[in-house]
A = this chain, B = another copy of it.
Amino acid sequence: MSPADLGAAYDGRQVLVTGGAGFIGSNLARRLADLGARVTVVDSLLPNYGGNLFNLDGYENRLRINIADVRGHGMEFLVRNQHVIFNLAGQVSHIDSMSDPHTDLEINCHAQLSLLEACRRGNPGTKIVFASTRQIYGVPQYVPIDEVHPVRPTDVNGINKMAGEWYHILYNNVHGIRACSLRLTNTYGPRMLVKHSRQTALGWFVRQALDGDTIQIWGDGNQLRDYTYVDDVVDAFLAAGVTDAANGHCINLGGLRPVSHVELMSTLTDIAGTGSWKLVPFPPQFKKIDVGDTYCTHALANRLLGWQPKTELAAGLASTVSFYRSWREHYWN
């Protein structure tokens, strides 16, 4: 959708962003505020998760920041009168999901059911866009992965995200609460969590490059992934929020093209001008939840939402590196 169309669609609309102080949520919330929406951000700001109030720096008076855990009560009130709910609150670390599966379940299943039940009772006319993940496909049977590819999650996080996604589709189909799910691939850009390595690999690599460290690539470096720049992902969420043709659908936000780990690291360290990389053997404890080469199409997103990724890897990484060079002290610790 064009900026003018999006402005017309969101200007003055009441919008909720769960996980709105996190990486993608904050970029989305900022853009929504720019479009004139009346934005409420909900975030628990739990330590070790992606929420960071600095992500909303400069927007403190342009949106409402409500600190709350989606697992608790309070969501019943917060969902009321929202025209669109962007539901991005989640536990996203697959490593954490294997060591603490119950917390993953509470956030990715229990809280999702609570939010949907709250909408069913208090705001059945709302529209919900759920942030899902390509992880639920598991080990690819073919690439690029499209939406009819079987789902075969390989970790607790994938299973729970799959269930959370299905709740949304079910409430769309059975209860008439308009909902769709966007299956994110590796999203990167300003405001991603770089405090530790358990959430996104790429965030940690950016940090290592800026710290002048040697980045270790597991395996032979030929593994293929797709990467989507956060501004492009925000475009997809905005389009999904006002496109009823997407209701009931799960839609991949596949990247522009597959990129090898070696290309990624070369590009990153070239752009940063600092850091280096080397190949090391795959650590056995992570090998068992690795999925090999994996990347997705964006054909359905293009058809239903008119969306396609626009940002080339080098341009996206340049913005990302520049952002963290400027605001390092807000993200390193």
Interface residues of A (CB under 8 A from B): 98, 101-102, 105, 109-110, 113-114, 117, 148, 150-151, 153-156, 159-160, 162-163, 166-167, 170, 173-174, 288-289
> Which residue of the partner chain, among B114, B117, B154, B174, contacts A170 with CB atoms under 8 Å?
B154
Q: Are B113 and A109 in contact (CB under 8 A)?
A: no
User: Known contacts A105-B113, A109-B109; is A155 also within 8 Å of B167 by CB?
Assistant: no
Residue of B nearest to A110 (CB): B105
- Top-7 shortest CB links A-B: A163-B163, A159-B166, A101-B113, A159-B163, A174-B288, A105-B109, A102-B113
Residue of B nearest to A162 (CB): B163
Greatest chain B CB density within 10 A among A98, A101, A156, A289 is at: A101
Q: Are A117 and B98 in contact (CB under 8 A)?
A: no
Minimum CB–CB distance for A159 against chain B, Å: 4
Chain copies in the assembled complex:
2
Please name all residues of chain B whose beta carbon is closer than 8 Å to the beta carbon of A98 when the two chains form the complex.
Answer: 174
Minimum CB–CB distance for A174 against chain B, Å: 5
Q: Are A109 and B150 in contact (CB under 8 A)?
A: no
User: How many angstroms between the C-alpha atoms of A148 and B167 in the bound complex?
Assistant: 22
Please name all residues of chain B whose beta carbon is closer than 8 Å to the beta carbon of A156 when the two chains form the complex.
Answer: 113, 167, 170
User: How many angstroms between the C-alpha atoms of A170 and B153 in the bound complex?
Assistant: 8
Residue of B nearest to A163 (CB): B163
> Can you list 19 A-B contacts (CB < 8 A)?
A101-B113, A101-B117, A102-B113, A102-B114, A102-B117, A105-B109, A105-B110, A109-B163, A148-B150, A151-B151, A154-B170, A156-B167, A156-B170, A159-B166, A159-B170, A160-B163, A162-B162, A162-B163, A173-B288
Please name all residues of chain B whose beta carbon is closer than 8 Å to the beta carbon of A170 when the two chains form the complex.
Answer: 153-156, 159
Minimum CB–CB distance for A288 against chain B, Å: 5
Residue of B nearest to A159 (CB): B166
User: How many angstroms between the C-alpha atoms of A186 and B110 in the bound complex?
Assistant: 28
Please name all residues of chain B whose beta carbon is closer than 8 Å to the beta carbon of A109 when the two chains form the complex.
Answer: 105, 109, 163
Please name all residues of chain B whose beta carbon is closer than 8 Å to the beta carbon of A159 when the two chains form the complex.
Answer: 163, 166-167, 170
Q: Are B151 and A173 in contact (CB under 8 A)?
A: no
Q: Are A174 and B162 in contact (CB under 8 A)?
A: no
Please name all residues of chain B whose beta carbon is closer than 8 Å to the beta carbon of A167 when the two chains form the complex.
Answer: 101, 156, 159
User: Known contacts A163-B163, A173-B154; is A110 also within 8 Å of B102 by CB?
Assistant: yes
Please name all residues of chain B whose beta carbon is closer than 8 Å to the beta carbon of A288 when the two chains form the complex.
Answer: 173-174
User: How many angstroms between the C-alpha atoms of A162 and B164 in the bound complex?
Assistant: 12
User: How many angstroms between the C-alpha atoms of A258 and B148 in the bound complex?
Assistant: 28
User: How many angstroms between the C-alpha atoms of A166 and B160 in the bound complex?
Assistant: 10
Please name all residues of chain B whose beta carbon is closer than 8 Å to the beta carbon of A163 when the two chains form the complex.
Answer: 109, 159-160, 162-163
Residue of B nearest to A102 (CB): B113
Residue of B nearest to A106 (CB): B110
User: Known contacts A109-B163, A163-B162, A163-B163; is A289 also within 8 Å of B174 by CB?
Assistant: yes
User: How many angstroms between the C-alpha atoms of A114 and B174 in the bound complex?
Assistant: 30
